[in-house]
Amino acid sequence: MKTAAVIAEYNPFHNGHSRHLKEARALTGADFVMAVMSGDFVQRGAPAVFHKYMRTRMALLSGAGLVLEMPVFGSVASAEDFASCGVSLAAKTGAADFLSFGSESGDLNFLERQAALYEAETPEVSARIREGLKRGLSWPRAREKAFLHTDAPVPVSPNDILACEYLRAIKSHGSSMLPVPVVRNDGGYHSSGRKGSFASATAIRKALAENDLDFLTEVVPEAFFSCLKLESCPQVTADDFSMILNEKLLTLPLCELTGISGMPEDLARKLHKNRLSFASFSERTASSKDRQYTYARVSRCLLNTVLGITREETERFKALDSAPWLRILGFRKDALPLLSEIKKHSAVPMITKTADAADLLSGPSLELFYKHLQCAELYRLAAELKTGRPMKNEFTRSPVII
């Protein structure tokens, strides 16, 4: 039995994701494709536009056999830590033979060369990065220009950068998974347009915000709207957490703010200084970013502040190889052989029922699991306030079964 793993956010699920699942299976000859998916919060430092169960249902209807949840400590993190968490979770199943990922170039040799460059950042490259920052470049742009002086340029496209991190993570975790890139066929990560029946998640989130149904019907699977109705799933945005963010910044002492995961000290001081100037989440992010800290990095810091995720908790999570458990969000009945395989070979506990966690986990793992659930309940709070309707909590919600 062969299994291909994919690491994804599905924020939201669209035709490009459906194509990736089909291509991953075709290119690898896999019997099953399992997705390691971000839960309710995503890597760019925002809540997922729809909750994880709706996105899980879409993935299962579109070709995934199993969906595992990436814990919040890995999903709201830098590209390096996000990739490390996803790869570690897939590897810990003991069932993944391949790791398939989207790529603008689709050239594995090129990506492997770039990943090797990341591993061998020289003092000269580091110095050029610092020079670029002094000239007013953003950190990603300074890093890109610094590597242009080496044998090969650093990739500038977001998915190629992430692909390099996957390759590095496969190596660092000692995984035997074979990497399989799939070329993206939309307009690119930041594209706001449509290319046939494909569009980026960025463009689709914009269309959702504008209620552009004509655009949406062209770029999402047919089952998208029925899943949305079935799951009673409202759109959630970062600004739905503005009041919590303002309360946190108002009441947290500076020493605790600097202890938030990923929070630079100078950014903490800036936020603390401006704590009496209330603003929305997005306004706060825009006013706090600068040439050194990208919008996404600032947004992750603010989201970690809302969720109360500390640097210490993140380090404890990493110390557990960024994979203390495997939590099942959903599966197809015809993928039961895959579940049986994971039960036999998984290196960490597999959680199907949330209530069983106390019997399966202990110590730091259990504490982190409960913190993860607490973050998910904050998402549910925002969703319920938007609709005025109650939703099942993390203890009463069952996995999606197709």
Angle, CA of 240, 244 and 249, to the nearest 5°? 130
> Was 102 annotated as part of a binding site?
yes
> Was 184 annotated as part of a binding site?
yes
Q: The tokens of 378 are what?
A: 């904050």
> Was 109 annotated as part of a binding site?
no
> Was 19 annotated as part of a binding site?
yes
Q: CB-based contacts of 376: which residues, under 8 Å, 6+ apart?
A: 39, 40, 52, 72, 394
d(CA 293, CA 316): 25
**Do 347 and 92 form a contact (C-beta atoms < 8 A)?**
yes
**Do 314 and 308 form a contact (C-beta atoms < 8 A)?**
no
d(CA 289, CA 293): 6
> Was 20 annotated as part of a binding site?
yes
**Do 16 and 184 form a contact (C-beta atoms < 8 A)?**
yes
> Was 7 annotated as part of a binding site?
yes
> Was 15 annotated as part of a binding site?
yes
**Do 247 and 284 form a contact (C-beta atoms < 8 A)?**
no
- The alpha carbon dihedral of 157, 49, 55, 318 has a sign of positive
> Was 18 annotated as part of a binding site?
yes
> Was 328 annotated as part of a binding site?
no
What is the three-state SS of 290-312?
Answer: CCCCCHHHHHHHHHHHHHCCEHH
Annotated binding site for ATP: 7-20, 102, 159, 184
Annotated binding site: 7-20, 102, 159, 184
